[in-house]
Amino acid sequence: QVQLVESGGGSVQAGDSLRLSCAVPGQIFSNYSVGWFRKAPGKEREFVAAIRRRGINRYYADSVQGRFIISRDNAKSSVALQMNRLKPEDTAVYYCAADSEVADFGRYYYSREIIWDYWGQGTQVTVSA
């Protein structure tokens, strides 16, 4: 079983930045795409961002585009989610997920929870006004 571990969550104020990290087993890291989803209380889990295997392509939800940046750190076998200009609406538990699909089917494909093979336990992000 592949285990993913999120870290970097915390409490910040609106306008601040936060950097999340998703640790991926080194043996499979380069061949897996990694995505971020978030779940706010009373809301459905929603897609945030995804980065293709080897970092070829990146995709973002409209709500975070221009503010969040997803990247791969090959040396650490991890994927980071740099969150800038945070808003109270960004408050949620953030989960990372991994997918082994070789082909790139676009943003819609990665926005679907069902396609992801593995999930982490999540890290809390709280943004106060």
pLDDT at 56 over 90: no
Q: What is the pLDDT of residue 48?
A: 98
- The pLDDT assigned to 75 comes to 94
Average pLDDT over residues 104-117: 96
Q: CB-side exposure of 95: number of CA atoms within 13 Å?
A: 19
For residue 27, pLDDT over 90 is answered with yes
Contacts of 6 (CB under 8 A, 6+ apart): 20, 21, 22, 23, 94, 95, 96, 120, 121, 122, 123
Q: Provide the pLDDT for residue 12.
A: 98
